[in-house]
Structure 1
Amino acid sequence: MSNKNTLKIGCHLSSSKGFYAMGQNALKINANTFQFFTRNPRGSRAKEMNLEDVERFLKFMQEHKIEKVLAHSPYTLNPCSADEKNRDFAKVTMLDDLTRMEYLPGNFYNFHPGNHVGQGIEAGIEQIISMLNSILKPEQTTTVLLETMSGKGTEIGSKFEELHQIMEGVKLSDKLGICLDTCHVFDAGYDIVNDLSGVLHEFDEIIGLDRLYAVHLNDSKNPIGSHKDRHETIGKGTIGMDAILSILTHPNLCHLPFYLETPNDLSGHKVEIEMIRTALQQN
C-alpha cells in the first residue's frame, strides 16, 4: 500500500519558465512528480524547446527522484470535430507535442478524446482512431494517455467501453494507456465512493488494469452521475477524503502517479499534498 514515503504525487504546474523551474516548484511543495501543459491551454502556440533547460531538468529528475511527468494537451484540441480543419489542427498539434516529448523520453502525454458535436459516438471514435494511427510511431518512448471524461455534452470517453474501442482500433495500441480522472469518472456515474473495487473490476474486464498508467486526483463539486466536470479541493467535495484515501491506498492504484488538478494555487497544493501524506502516515 501507498504511504507517505512511497506515494508518487504532484499537481499541475505552470510551464512558462521552463522544465527546471517546474522541477524546483515541485520540490517546494513536497511533490515528486507533476503535470504541465505543452502549450497555451486555450491557444495553439508552443515555445521553442530550450535544450539547455531540458538537459538541466533531466539531471534534476535523477538527483531528486522526480517520477514520470505528465504533459497535457491544450483544451483546444478536438480530434473528432465535425470540422475537418479542426481535426487537422488537432493532428498537427499533437504530432508536434509528441515530437517535443521525446526530449523527455519515457514520460506521459495526456489528452481529452474529444467531442463528436452531433456526429455520433461511433463516427467520433473512428476519427480519433484515424488521428492516432497517423501520428503514433513505433520508435516513440512517450505513452499517450486517453483521459476518462465526465460525459458532458457530446464528450467521448465517459464510458470505459468507448476508451476500449479507441484502443482496439489503434495499430500501435502498446503506445496507449489510460489516465483515470476521479472527478470525471464519478461525474460519469462510476461509484468510486461506495464501490471502488467494483469500478476497478469493471475497468479491468473492459480495458485491463495493466493499461492504467496515471490518476488525476480531484474531488468533485457535483453528485455522482451529474456529467458536470467541476473539480473541487481534496476533501471538500462529494467524493470526500475517505474515498480519496481509499483510492490512494487501493492495491490496484497505489503504485501509480497521482496528479492534482484541484482549484488551488501552488501554496494550496502544498497544503493538499501534506494533508494527504499525513493522512496516509496515520492510516
Structure 2
Amino acid sequence: MFWVGCHLSASKGYLAMGKMAEKIGANTFQFFTRNPRGGSVKALDLEDIAAYRAFAAQKGFGKILAHAPYTMNACAADEGLREFAANVMAEDLGRLSHLPEAMYNFHPGSHVKQGADVGIEKIADLLNRVLKPETQTEVLLETMAGKGTEVGRNFEELRAIIDKVELGEKLGVCMDTCHVFDGGYDIVEHLDDVLAEFDRIIGLERLKAIHLNDSKNPMGSHKDRHACLDEGEIGMAALSRIINHPKLKHLPFLLETPNELDGYAREIAWLREVREGE
C-alpha cells in the first residue's frame, strides 16, 4: 500500500482532516498538535477522535503523524524553555494515547552555542523524563538540515540521543528529504549509500516516516528551505526513486511543500502516477 499525504490544519478536528485528506487523494496526513508558533492547545474532543478512527478504518488510512510545535526546544539553554518543552511533550503524548494510529514527530532542538554534546545530553534527559513504560505513541526524531545550532544535523547525533534514552525502543526517526539533502547526504546520486549509512549508524528498522520535500538550495547548504516537488535541487527523478525504493516504499510519505490544498492534490496525484506496482 502506498501511504501518501500532506500537512493539514487541525483547527476543525480529526474527522475534518481525514475527509480533507481523502478529498485530495491522500490516505494519511500530518498535523500540528497545537499552535506551531506558540503553545496553546484545543480541548480534547473524544467524540471527534472516535469519529475519525471509524472513518479512517473504513477508508483504509495508514498511520498519521502528529508534529510538535516549533517553539518546543528540548535542549534550550534556558531551564524554563526546557521545562515548557517537557510539559508540551508529556501533554501531547497523553492526548495521543487516545489515537493509537498516530506517531509523534519533533525537531530535536537547537543547542544555542552550548555545543552539540550538551544539546544531546539535554534532549536525552528530557526524553528520559517524559517517556514512560506505558507510553504507546512512537516518538520520532526528525533529521535536520544543520541550520544554525540545530541538533540532529547528521545520523550520528540522532544515534547519540537514542543511546542515552533509557526507553530507546520507543524512539524512531522521520527522515526529511530536504533536510538530509541540505545536510550533505546525496540522496540524488547515492541513495543506496545514504540508506546503508543510516542502517549502519541508526538502523533502518527505526525509520518510521518520510517528509517528502524538494529543496530550494544545493546539497550541503544547511539552509532548510523546502520547495515544491520537481521545483528544487533534488528533482522528481530522485524523489520517484525514494518512494519506490524497496527499503522505503512501506513507509508513510508526508508532503511539507509550500502549497495550498490544490497544490498538494496535484503532487499526490503525480506521486501516485510514478509509484510502481500500485
Q: Partner of 2:121 in structure 1?
A: 126
The answer to whether structure 1 residue 20 and structure 2 residue 8 are counterparts is no
Q: Is the contact between residue 221 and residue 232 of structure 1 (CA under 8 Å) also seen in structure 2?
A: yes
Q: Where does structure 1 lack aligned partners over 5 or more consecutive residues?
A: 1-5
Other-structure match for 1:3: none
- 2:244 partner letter: T
Match of 1:82 among 77, 82, 92: 77
TM-score after normalising by structure 2: 0.98
Say if 1:183 and 1:217, in contact at 8 Å, map to a contact too. Answer: yes
Q: Is the CA contact 1:35–1:70 (under 8 Å) kept in the aligned structure 2?
A: yes
Q: How many angstroms apart in 1 are the aligned matches of 2:277 and 2:4?
A: 17
Instruction: Report if aligned partners of 1:36, 1:71 keep a CA contact under 8 Å in 2.
Output: yes
Q: Secondary structure at the match of 1:10?
A: strand
Q: How many aligned positions are there?
A: 278
Aligned to 1:136: 131
Please report how far the alpha carbon of residue 280 of structure 1 lies from its aligned counterpart in structure 2 after TM superposition.
2.3
Does residue 218 (structure 1) correspond to residue 213 (structure 2)? The answer is: yes
Q: Which has the higher contact order (CA 8 A, sep 6+)?
A: 1
Segments of structure 2 that go 5 or more residues without pairing to the other structure are none
The question of whether the paired residues in 2 share the 8 Å contact of 1:188 and 1:226 is answered with: yes
Q: Which residue of 1 aligns with 2:47?
A: 52
Aligned mates of 2:187, 2:91 — CA distance in 1: 35
Deviation at 1:72, TM superposition (A): 0.1
2:157 is matched with which residue? Answer: 162
SS in 1 for 2:211: strand
Kept after mapping to 2: 8 A contact 1:221/1:231: yes
CA contact (8 A) 2:62 2:101 kept: no
For 1:196, give the aligned amino acid.
L
* Residue identity in the other structure for 1:31: A
The amino acid of 1:238's aligned partner reads E
2:169 — aligned with what? 174
Report the 3-state secondary structure (helix = DSSP H, G, I; strand = E; otherwise coil) of the residue aligned with 2:16. helix
Amino acid at match of 2:172: G
Amino acid at match of 1:123: V
Whether the aligned pair in 2 keeps the contact of 1:107 and 1:141 (CA below 8 Å) is no
For residues 56 and 208 of structure 1, the distance between their equivalents in structure 2, rounded to whole angstroms, comes to: 36
**Structure 2 residue 212 is matched with structure 1 residue 235:** no
Question: How far 1:138 moved relative to its partner?
Answer: 1.1
1:108 to 78, 89, 103: 103
- Which residue in the other structure is 2:68 paired with? 73
Counterpart-to-counterpart distance in 2, 1:59 and 1:277: 25
Deviations 1:235-265 (A, max 9, x none): 1110000000000011110110000000001
Superposition deviation, residue 107 in structure 1? 2.2
Distance 1:107 1:265 in 2: 23
Structure 2 CA distance for aligned equivalents of residues 281 and 83 of structure 1: 49
Q: Which residue of the partner structure matches residue 245 of structure 1?
A: 240
Q: Which residue of 1 aligns with 2:266?
A: 271
Paired residues of 2:244 and 2:276 also in contact (CA < 8 A): no
- Aligned identity (percent) is 58
* In structure 2, C-alpha distance between the alignment counterparts of 1:207 and 1:102, rounded to whole Å: 26
CA distance in 1 between counterparts of 2:153 and 2:102 reads 24
Say if 2:65 and 2:102, in contact at 8 Å, map to a contact too: yes
Instruction: Indicate the residue corresponding to 2:90 in structure 1.
Output: 95
